[in-house]
Amino acid sequence: MCGLLAYLSTDAERVDQARVDGVRHALHCLHHRGPDDTAVWSDGHTVLGFNRLSIIDVGGSPQPLAYAGDRYRILFNGEIYNYVELRAELRELGAEFATEGDTEAIVAGFHHWGPDVVHRLRGMFAFVIWDTETGTAFGARDPFGIKPLFTARLADGGLVLSSEKKALLELLGGSEAAGGVDPASLQHYLTLQYVPEPATLHRGIAKVESGTRFTLAGGEMTTERWFHPRFTPRPVPAGAAQQLYDRIAEVLEESVAKHMRADVTVGSFLSSGIDSTAIAALAHRYNPDLLTFTVGFARESTSEVDIAAESAAVLGVRHVPVEITADDFAAAIPEVVWYLDDPVADPALVPLYFVAREARKHVKVVLSGEGADELFGGYTIYREPLSLAWAKGLPAPGRRALTRIAGLLPEGVRGQDLLRRAATPLEQRYYGNARNLRDDELAALMPGRDRDLSHVQVTEALYAQARDAGYDDVTAMQYVDLFTWLRGDILVKADKMTMANSLELRVPFLDPEVFALASTLPLEMRTPRGRGHAKAGTTKYALRQAMRQIVPPRIMDRRKLGFPVPTADFLAGPLHDWARDIITSSQTEQWLDRTVVLGLLERLRAAAAAGAPPSKRTARQLWEVLVFMVWHGIFVEERIAVDVPETVYPVTL
């Protein structure tokens, strides 16, 4: 788990000492990703820089790592959990190793298997291999996009790749040199709560997409998708359900066992849900002294901290809770947004930052439960096709009638949104697990929006693929989420908030073997439906049944909180003035109507003053804008200075 920065060119004249110094300077932007070691290597064609967080083969495996004499140099961010098995297989092919780590397994695999090495890697990764003999580069990202990789072209034609966008901004010379704010990406952000891959909020910087590999030859970069997630549901024979549950438990335990491979201490995040609880319970089998961590806000209602502490006591693991206040929350925002690179409007990333900061005082690696919902059908929105089944076959006139009825109802009345969604085909209404702004609300907030641009452009190819594969509506939604919400929100905040604290996060659910099994589950084993089914509407049904042999019964059916953030209460109360200051000082009038934004804030304050609960939906919309305004103040206006702390931690092993 580290930070890489590569400058690649085929023109020897372009790599001079100034370019090497530039890479070295920009590499400091990634110091938090790897404070254990920093190295820069160059030849006539490339400059490779690396900040290392030592996890496996702590005393060896320095990067940029050489292989086959000095033919190859590799930069690798991530972990390969089957590296032991790969090294054994490669030795039989004649491979020789100078280290004990997983990095060398990748480059040796590339030497012997070529680009198809990616199909053999079980882990999370973003890597670049420079072949000094052919003057070409090869690289790839993991199947789900756990580890990031950004790319841009410099003015001299050289290609640069980095684990974080801020290093590329440094090399390019700032926001304007990077093409300025991309209005299409901003519009998508306001709809989706994140900027969808491969775009970023800067025109001149892109992401290498999840599950793709690339080759650089003759100065040209070509990419291809190497991982195509496919759902192949098949019925479970009568009487074979328990065998399936046992198999799920077995595969997940095997994944956790491999994810526990490290030469440093491994802990686990723990929330109120079954996903993180199951991971912690399985990890405890391999580490009896397992430390777990959770975060929450001190409130009168049930706290995530209280529930997680109860789970930890039942599991018999040691537990470290973190509680934060509204002031803590607000004070951290500029730093959090700086680490993000691009805005992500998920308030949960702030408590995640705090729990990662506390965890890093005790461990160097944590396990977490991301990915279970997308793979096993865990989001409550996946129940929507059941509730809207009555409208699925409606002809166009019937859908138009529903739209008219919804429009006649007072705004916000119960059932209005249901009618709107019933009138809208799945391909138009579902674009991932985020629904912040309707078209009319976006029009008011962003008057200069592109009326021909919508979220449909982000998802239409995915729905076409889902139709070609014959997926039902729920499976199509899961498929869309793999390319939208999972890699745009869930994995971004997981990577950025943990690496901000030099902490490695591992996600055992997002394992090729786990996905291979989850992808075969029939619909009734994900979200059962049908009036006669005792668990109709239950999410992650098969996973819940499988986890009953792992998670104690008193925890199993408890309502999940996640990492809940009282955003509405904060913005209506203690953070009202803070939010107003951000809005009035922001120089984003080119993009957003400040009056509309202030209206959202005052709507929350008015509700609180009247003794009514402030609208969570309004708070989400406002939070989305505030995050963008802070981002703009840091990266575009350069008005907000972020005091990034030095990455010095007491735990080294």
Phi/psi of residue 93, each to 5°? Answer: -90, 0
**CA–CA dist 64, 75 (Å, integer):** 5
Beta-strand pair 72-80/159-162: unpaired
DSSP class per residue in 62-109:
-SSEEETTTTEEEEEEEEETTHHHHHHHHHHTT---SSSSSHHHHHHH
Give the torsion sign (CA, 315, 319, 323, 328): negative
Beta strands in 230-310 (DSSP E): 266-269, 291-297
Q: Which amino acid is at 605?
A: R
Q: Which amino acid is at 631?
A: W
Q: Any bridge partners for residue 8, and if so which?
A: 46, 159
2 counts as catalytic: yes
Of 80, 103, 104, the residue nearest 91 (C-alpha): 104
Tokens encoding 359:
């965890």
What local confidence, expressed as pLDDT, does residue 651 receive? 54
Q: Which amino acid is at 501?
A: N
Three-state DSSP state, 348: coil
Tokens encoding 72:
């190859």
Residues 6+ apart with CB under 8 A from 623: 345, 347, 567, 571
What local confidence, expressed as pLDDT, does residue 300 receive? 47
Out of 2, 107, 121, 619, the active site residue is: 2
Residues 6+ apart with CB under 8 A from 341: 150, 164, 165, 166, 200, 496
| 10-residue mean pLDDT series, the chain (653 residues) | 90 83 96 96 94 93 94 98 97 96 98 98 98 95 98 93 98 95 97 96 98 93 97 95 97 97 95 91 95 83 74 91 93 96 96 96 96 95 85 78 79 76 86 84 95 93 97 96 97 98 98 98 87 64 93 73 79 96 97 98 93 92 98 97 75 54
Distances (CA, A) of 183 to 180, 244, 346, 458, 592: 9, 48, 21, 15, 11
**CA–CA dist 202, 169 (Å, integer):** 9
Distances (CA, A) of 64 to 95, 226, 455: 19, 25, 40
- The H-or-E segment that residue 338 falls in is helix 326-340
Q: Tokens 């820089």: give the residue.
A: 49
Of 129, 125, 142, the residue nearest 210 (C-alpha): 142
Q: How many C-beta atoms surround the C-beta of residue 57 within 10 A? A: 16
DSSP class per residue in 514-526:
HHHHHTT--GGGT
Strands of 136-141's sheet in order across: 65-67, 72-80, 123-131, 136-141, 212-217, 220-225
**CA–CA dist 351, 321 (Å, integer):** 12
Three-state DSSP state, 48: strand
How large is the C-alpha radius of gyration of the chain? 25
Residues 6+ apart with CB under 8 A from 595: none
What local confidence, expressed as pLDDT, does residue 399 receive? 76
What local confidence, expressed as pLDDT, does residue 475 receive? 97
DSSP 8-state class, residue 352? H
Burial of 239 (0-12, 13-18, 19+ CB in 10 A): exposed
